[in-house]
Each structure stands twice: as structure tokens, then as C-alpha cells.
Amino acid sequence: MSDKRQRARVQGSWAKPLPKPPRPTAGSVSNNQQTGQVNPDPNSWGSGPQKTPKTFEFHQPTKRVRDVPAVKVIEQAGIHEISHGPSGVSRLRLLPGFLPPEEADWMFSKLLAELPWSQKTNYRQGAAYEEPRLTCWFGELPYTYARSTLAANTQWHPALSALRGAVEQASGCGFNSLLCNLYRDGHDSIGWHSDDEASLGRRPTIASLSLGDTRVFGVRKQPPPEENGDYTYVEQIRVPLGHGTLLVMDGAVQDDWQHQVAKEYHDRGPRINLTFRTMHPEPEGHRPGTRLRFTSNQS
């Protein structure tokens, strides 16, 4: 086959004739032979005579493929050390059946009917929004979070005073305040946050008692600073919290982790969650609700 036809077959009929290699003159050497260079300097591309590389090397891309860690599930009673840093040991203590079923049933009906439930209005970037759940607050001090305040309320329901004693005994920790949450159905929720307002003190112990339908308590690790607030690759844990279950968060949980109860897209009955806390008076001149560190807004 003639050179012209062969080129037309292989490259298409539009292919131009290949440039003829420069004819060596007596005593001359090629550019590459002269410099010993295989890969031309990219800075010289497009300027001056082109140097044709003799060989190509394939380099595997060096970018690491990262796996999103599998979500862990904690269902077993006991003390679970979920991390050892960066702020210290973070612990979840889980006690399913802390309240026996009949007692939990009685408590649930009583609190649902008799607590002064209301919907709190919070603020984010100057805009008001209603919390997607109902709350009520007991304690000698007010509690400010998400730029709105639950007023002090010393009228503890007698059933809650009795529960406080039992929770203190089980957790070995004293509490002076209680935030009650009512999730009316699966659409009610609480967004990712940490209970890290300065009024709760450093490394607070928070005891959370669940009554009613089971909801999943999600926990995710705070990303290291180099991730710039990206939670894609952080560790995640799911803790199903059933009727009568006590969960105690302590150590560095509020520093190193966030938690939430996400919306669910299938039917859920009502659930009450009681979170016992210890509030400290805000120092003089301190803005209430200020966080110890930056975390995303609570909703």
C-alpha cells in the first residue's frame, strides 16, 4: 500500500502528510541527543523549537481514595468509650430498661398530659423559626440557646422530682435543671448540635431519659480543623433510644462530638426526652447562650 493510502486508512482522509524528520547534516546530532533531555521543560512549550519526548511514563494518580467510615450502632447496656481525643475520653453510658415498662408507661402518659409544653421560637442569622418539637424547662436559672431563652421555672412536677433522684443515683451525678422535649411524631426532630453553652460548664454530664416511641440518637465526631467543617468522613454512631432507656453523656462528648434526633419518614408515635443538666450562673457581663466553642446551630 502506498504511504498516502495507508495514512488515509489509519488516520482518515483529512490527515495531513507527516512532517519529514530533519535531515541530519554531517557531524550534527538531534536536540535530545544534544541535551540528554527526555521530557521537555513545560515552560518552553510553544516557544522556540519543539522538543519531542522520546518516552512516555504512566504515573498512577497520587490522590488517596478515602472511605466514609461505616456507621456504628450501640445497643448494648454499659459504658462505651467512643473516643480518646482530641479533648479527652468521650463516654456514652447506656441503660435500657432503666424504668420498667409499666412505670415508663405511667410516667409517659402523666408527663404528656400534665407538663406545660410549648413551641420555642429560635433565631438563626436574624431570622426566626419555630423549633420542630415542643419543650419545657425546669431549673432555678434560665436556659438560653439558639438566641432565645427558656425562663427559670422552679415548679418541678412531682413526678420529675422523683425521677431526678433516681437518675442522680444511677449516674452518680447531681443535676439542678431539666430540659424536656416532646417529639409529637416522626416529623419532629432536633438538629446536629453539642450541649456546649458556657452556662453548662466544661465537660458537662448530661443524663437523658427516653419515654414513648423509639427514636435514633445520632452522634458524629467533630472534624479536625484541616477538614474546614466538612463532616463527610467523620465517625458516626447510632443509638436507638427506647421506652425507659437512660443515656448518660460525659467526658469530652460535648467538645468532640455532636448529636441529633433526625426526622423519620415513616410513622412514629410521640416520644418524650428528659435531659437532666447542671446549670451555672452566667459570669457578670457574659452574653447568655454563648458557646464554649463554635458548633452548628441547634434547631
Ligand X SMILES: O=C(O)CCC(=O)C(=O)O
> Binding residues for ligand X, per CB under 6 A?
179, 181, 190, 195, 208, 217, 241, 259, 261, 273, 275
CB distance 78 to 95 below 8 Å = no
Taking the least distance from each CB to ligand X, the nearer of 40 and 240 is 240
Give the strand pairing for 177-183 and 271-277: antiparallel
Q: Which residues contact residue 243 at a Cβ distance below 8 angstroms, ignoring those fewer than 6 apart?
A: 99, 101, 104, 105, 108, 210, 211, 212, 213, 214
Taking the least distance from each CB to ligand X, the nearer of 40 and 186 is 186
Residue keyed to cell 467526658: 251
Taking the least distance from each CB to ligand X, the nearer of 83 and 272 is 272
Residue whose C-beta lies closest to ligand X: 273
Give least dist CB 215 to ligand X, A: 7
Taking the least distance from each CB to ligand X, the nearer of 83 and 135 is 135
Residue keyed to cell 518516552: 55
Q: Which residues contact residue 105 at a Cβ distance below 8 angstroms, ignoring those fewer than 6 apart?
A: 243
The CA-based angle 86-89-93, given to 5 degrees, is 140
Give least dist CB 264 to ligand X, A: 13
Taking the least distance from each CB to ligand X, the nearer of 83 and 180 is 180
Give least dist CB 195 to ligand X, A: 5
Give least dist CB 275 to ligand X, A: 4
Give least dist CB 150 to ligand X, A: 11
